[in-house]
Structure 1
Amino acid sequence: MFDFKIKTKNINKLFKKKTKNIDLSIGEVKNYKNKLIRNNIKKIELYNLYNKEESSKKLLKVIKNYIKKIFFANINLKNITTTMGNRNAIYNFFLILKKKDKLIAIKKPRYPYYTYISNFFRKKIFYFKSYDELFKEIKNISVIIICNPENPTGKTYNKSILKLLKLCKKHNKKILIDECYSSIYIKKPFSFSNLFNKFEKNITIINSLSKRSCSPGLKSGYMISNKTNIIKINVIKNLSNTELSEFNKFLSKKIWKDKKHAFLINKDYKKKMKTCLKILKKKKIKYIEPKGAFYIFINISKTKKSSTNFCKRLYKKYKIKTVPGSIFSKEKYIRIALVEDKKKCIKSLIKICKLIKNKKNIKINKISKGKLTICYKKNGKWKVNKKNKKIIIDYIKKTKKKISNKKNTINYDIFFNNFLNKKKILKKKKIRITYLSYVRNGAYIGYKVIMMPCFVNVGAYVDDESLLDSWSTIGSCARIGRKVHISGGVGIGGVLEPINEKPVIIEDEVFIGARSEIVEGVIIKKKSVISMGVFIGKSTKIYHRKKKKFYNSYIPEKSVVVPGCINYGFYSLYAAIIVKSKDKKTKNKININKKLRITK
């Protein structure tokens, strides 16, 4: 058996707690209060009366005039009856269907109620995405359900639908057309009311005041169908006592007559729609633009989460109710209804955009793209950008660790390999990267960089045409300049905390020999040469042999540095000795083969 209650409560399960929230889930307008209902509430005494035929006829005449003025269709009174809203009309329509009418055709993405009611009456369902699919199966189908404009996408129909109507007439098929959104449009939609007289036997049209006049609680609408269907439905109404009350009829007459309020409601929707679509365009978030109705489908594929999980997360964080697209067969989307006032709609949309884009990830991605750097040069001096360093620290603190299994390796980390599934970036930048090289997300690698098996940590910046040889490690936030040669087994230190502390900075065209270690914020100036096995830290004595001068955490430009020691009488200490300035001999020794730089 079909469990109707479970299906209809799917959305409410997402939002268990009763708190002050912004509800953009259901088409229930919060910002508009119908004055016509408020002004005529004194006529509540009409509830004392039974239903009268005279009042029903008067209401039908008002509805007939409304259809004539709005849709330019002249329909006989005998083809119109009142309903208690569109759901009641659909239910009554299914009651008068014959046993032969077994297969119901519903267009995807669908309004869930069409599926629920079909299952309730134990009908088979044929879902179709395009009308070409429907035309192929037209002989087997009994009833086609159409929503104009479509719920949930807001798509509108045009005269091209005539082909479907002609086929239905030819094969004697029934079409139920739900036009509850026909008065809410960006571009005025095509109405089936104009075609009713041509296809009277096949078409049934339903409409209500729910969306047009923002009064879903009034439960008032109409149905246009052939005379035999109308007689049957009137009998059902009398037997089930579901005819509109006298008070309801009185209010409905007033509302159907009045055009102003419907025009103002539609104008308000248009304004909200325009501003919301502008926000989405600026934020570069994909969406489905409707031509009718007040719904927007927003693409959430960037989050890599299911639509239900995204809706839960949105509610937990910002107390905003939305509908997951999975209900409408659109898993990568969420649906928002612009039913709150303009300010609330804009605020909630900005929050949705924030959650989709996730600023933490954006800033980390900017660091890995080189748009944000940890170290920068100002007036010839290196300085640390505390804000950018804090981005990495905050990201580590707030982000949960995840497990990733790739090629028999297990990582339980926050930052994964920056170049996983990024073949286009590697080709564009002409980077050569070998097996077992690992670049953590948040590290920048420049153009034409060559990487033998090595490790580059978060926040590190490796500039263009540099070479990282086998088993070299670049520490967090370290800065490597252009055309730098880092030999095998070299360790370049990095630092995240404290924030003020500088990482190691290697300037352009520096050569660092094998198994050397540069740590604790040491700066090595341009075109310097560090010999094999040199260890330089903050406390390391750096002695210039010719100048007879000591340097602290600093190697001057074009220096040639070798390991050595300084004698203090009874003992000697390790030191880095600047032997000479760089000359042609040293240039020839360390000159990198240019052929290595050729990358295709």
Structure 2
Amino acid sequence: MKIAQRMEKLSPSVTMAITALGRELKAQGKDILSFSAGEPDFDTPDVIKDAAVKAIKAGFTKYTSVEGITETKQAIINKLKRDHGLEYNLDNIVISNGAKHSLFNLFQLLINEGDEVIIPSPYWVTYPEQVKYSDGVPVFIETDDSTNFKITAEQLKNAITPKTKILVLNSPSNPAGSVYSKKELTEISKVLEGTDILVLSDEMYEKIIFDKEVFTATAQISKDMYNRTVTINGLSKAVAMTGWRFGYIATPKVDIVKAMIKLQGQVTSNINSMTQVASISALEGEADKEIEAMRKEFEKRRNFAVKAFNDIDGITCVSPKGAFYLFVNIKEVTENSIKFCEQLLAEEGVAVVPGLAFGKEGYFRFSFATDLESIKKGIERIERFTDRIKNVDYNE
């Protein structure tokens, strides 16, 4: 039996593969410190777990409408209004099995063969893979440390062609933790005025912000930006609900919503009913104290890790304004991030993700969504490894 040709367009997730390898080695009894997964080490807040248990005991265990129950959709609407002053109706919301599922649905229903999708680089590994699987063409805009890994309006203007269909924005970003300011988003919005380009704004990490930075939702920039933006969000990262699989979109474009419901109805139907009920607690702010406590701890870890990496000879690290990743520059040591990460895991038992997986060679992604003691030990091992290979021609 031959596997369908379309699968040849799809590459395995490097982050998932390294995380799985780290777990496998740990299960074999090896001393492994993993900084590869984008998963908070905190437990889901009790108020959310209690709501799920209550729903189960009450018998709320059946199918729901494909796009989610009215109560949860209303909680999303309330959240977007409360946090960003954005107005949506029930027919503007679809709940899916995590933001990754939301994105897959969107690319499948929006992209025709040859449509171009602009993606800032470095990027979350899933964006270009889903675009290619949907017969689209990823167009990358390169960024680096000097711009805090953010694109400029001028770069966007130069990347647009008659085939451009979508711009993907991710703020705060994975893997670099970049946060676009209101001014930067306004400049980007002006480039898009007069075009039919849609913006898919991935705002999954919006609650994980540092240095008193102010998060700006893309859709709140202007009426024009509101009308062209599909906001993608969820509860996995900020509320430590990775396994609950809750993602959603919000858009004034009802035709997109209807198409997404039709597609999802033939693939997964609704997300599990208990998660929908439990998520209302998080969306309505009942876990805000826990979210803030997690954010503070992430900031503490970030502060330590950034300083520790910048104290290593040959390594530099921009301090991210959001999310829980560092995108560490190892260009003075090697441009071969895959070899660096493979040897680091083999020799020191430290799992990080090569920058090439995110479209950027000469870096690795380090997740600080783990305890401070492990972070200290991990960076000590990385320093030891880096010192050892300095005099080796590591680019061969």
When normalised by structure 2's length, the TM-score is 0.83
**1:166 to partner: Cα distance:** 3.3
Letter in 2 for 1:328: F
8 Å contact kept, 2:61–2:274: no
Q: CA deviation at 1:328?
A: 1.7
1:60 counterpart = 2:73: yes
Amino acid at match of 1:228: D
The within-5 A match list for 1:489-568 is none
Aligned partner of 2:173 among 150, 153, 164: 150
Instruction: Please name the residue that 1:299 is paired with.
Output: 329
Per-residue deviation, 1:47? 5.6
Within the candidate set 12, 15, 27, 1:7 is matched to 12
Distance across 2 between alignment mates of 1:196 and 1:80: 20
Change (3 A) 1:155 1:347: same
Amino acid at match of 1:214: A
Name the structure where strand makes up a greater proportion of residues: 1
Q: Distance in 2 between matches of 1:84 and 1:54?
A: 10
**Alignment counterpart, residue 174 of structure 1, candidates 190, 198, 205:** 198
| Structure 2 partner of 1:280 | 309
- Letter in structure 1 aligned against 2:37: I
Distance 1:253 1:33, change over 3 A: closer
Picking from 94, 106, 109, the partner of 2:107 is 94
Structure 1 residues 52 and 139 mapped into 2: Cα distance closer, same or farther (>3 Å)? Answer: closer
Are residues 1:216 and 2:225 paired?
no
Partner of 1:356: 386
- 1:168-203 deviation line (CA, Å, top 9, x unaligned): 230211111111111111123322142364434311
Give the TM-score normalised by structure 1.
Answer: 0.56
- Distance verdict in 2 for CA 1:123–1:197, change over 3 Å: same
Q: Aligned match of 2:132 in 112, 119, 138?
A: 119
Corresponding residue of 2:373: 343
Gap regions ≥5 residues in structure 1: 363-399, 403-600
Structure 2 CA distance, aligned partners of 1:228 and 1:166? 25
Query: Residues 150 and 89 of structure 1: is their aligned pair in 2 closer, same or farther, counting only changes over 3 Å?
Result: same
Aligned CA distance change for structure 1 residues 345 and 98 (closer, same or farther; 3 Å): closer
1:30-41 equivalences under 5 Å are: 30-41=41-52
Displacement of 1:334 in angstroms is 1.3
Note the C-alpha offset of 1:95: 2.5
Using the alignment, how far apart are the partners of 1:210 and 1:54 within structure 2? 18
Give the CA deviation at 1:100. 7.2
Change (3 A) 1:232 1:274: same
C-alpha deviation, 1:52, in angstroms? 5.3
Q: Helix, strand or coil for the counterpart of 1:206?
A: strand
More helix by share: 2
After TM superposition, give the deviation of residue 11 of structure 1 in Å: 5.9
In 1, distance between residues paired with 2:222 and 2:290?
27
CA distance in 1, matches of 2:348, 2:271: 41
Are the counterparts in 2 of residues 145 and 176 from structure 1 also a CA contact under 8 Å?
yes
Aligned to 1:309: 339
Match of 1:204 among 217, 230, 239: 230
Contact preservation (8 Å) 1:311, 1:321: yes
Partners of 1:286 and 1:193 lie apart in 2 by 34
Deviation digits for residues 408-441 of structure 1, max 9, x if unmatched?
xxxxxxxxxxxxxxxxxxxxxxxxxxxxxxxxxx
Amino acid at match of 1:334: F
Shift, 1:13, TM fit: 6.3
Instruction: Determine whether 1:184 maps to 2:208.
Output: yes
Q: Which secondary structure does the structure 1 equivalent of 2:36 belong to?
A: coil
Residues 412-451 of structure 1 correspond to what in structure 2 (within 5 A)?
A: none
CA distance in 1, matches of 2:15, 2:70: 40
Deviations 1:238-290 (A, max 9, x none): 33343123211111112222212211111111111011122223335311221
Query: 2: CA distance between counterparts of 1:51 and 1:192?
Result: 30
CA contact (8 A) 1:302 1:356 kept: no
Deviation at residue 89 of structure 1 after TM alignment: 0.8
State the partner residue of 1:240.
267
Quick one: which amino acid aligns to residue 18 of structure 1? L
C-alpha distance 98-52 of structure 1, shift in aligned 2 (>3 A): closer
- After superposition, the Cα gap between the structure-2 partners of 1:219 and 1:305, relative to the gap in structure 1 and judged at 3 Å, is same
Q: Distance in 2 between matches of 1:348 and 1:307?
A: 17
Q: Which has the higher contact order (CA 8 A, sep 6+)?
A: 2
Q: What residue identity is the alignment partner of 2:227?
A: K
Moved more, 174-183 or 251-260: 251-260
Q: Quote the Cα distance in structure 2 between the aligned partners of 1:54 and 1:172.
A: 26
When residues 97 and 52 of structure 1 are mapped into structure 2, their CA distance, relative to the original with a 3 A threshold, is closer
Question: Match for 1:134 among 156, 172, 190?
Answer: 156
Q: Quote the RMSD (CA, aligned, Å).
A: 2.8
Cα distance in 1 for residues equivalent to 2:387 and 2:270: 51
Match of 1:262 among 266, 278, 291: 291
Aligned partner of residue 75 in structure 1, secondary structure: coil
**Do structure 1's residue 80 and structure 2's residue 110 form an aligned pair?**
no
Q: Deviations over 1:564-588 (max 9, x none)?
A: xxxxxxxxxxxxxxxxxxxxxxxxx
**C-alpha deviation, 1:10, in angstroms:** 7.3
Query: Structure 2, unaligned stretches of length 5 or more?
Result: 143-150
1:36–1:254 Cα contact (<8 Å) kept? yes
**1:18 aligns to what SS in structure 2?**
helix
- The separation in 2 between residues aligned to 1:217 and 1:209, in whole angstroms, is 10
Asked whether the 8 Å contact 2:44–2:239 carries over to 1, the reply is: no
Check whether the contact 2:113–2:135 (CA below 8 A) recurs between aligned residues. Answer: no
Letter in 2 for 1:153: A
For residues 354 and 31 of structure 1, what CA distance do their matches in structure 2 show? Answer: 29
Question: What CA distance in whole angstroms lies between the structure 2 residues aligned with 1:161 and 1:84?
Answer: 28
* Corresponding residue number in structure 1 for 2:146: none
**1:261 alignment partner AA:** E
Q: Counterpart of 1:268 in structure 2: which amino acid?
A: E
Indicate the SS of the match to 1:81. Answer: strand
Q: Tell me, what secondary structure is at the counterpart of 1:234?
A: helix
| 1:75-133 CA distance string (max 9 Å, x none) | 33332222221111111112221537711111111222111011101112211124423
Give 1:42's aligned amino acid: V
Over 3 Å counting, the alpha-carbon distance change for 1:352 and 1:86 in structure 2 is same
Give the Å deviation of 1:50.
Answer: 2.4
For residues 164 and 348 of structure 1, the distance between their equivalents in structure 2, rounded to whole angstroms, comes to: 38
270 and 10 in structure 1: CA distance in 2 versus 1, 3 angstrom threshold: closer
Query: SS in structure 2 opposite 1:222?
Result: strand
Question: What displacement does 1:6 show?
Answer: 4.4
User: Is the 8 Å Cα contact of residues 210 and 219 (structure 1) preserved in structure 2?
Assistant: yes
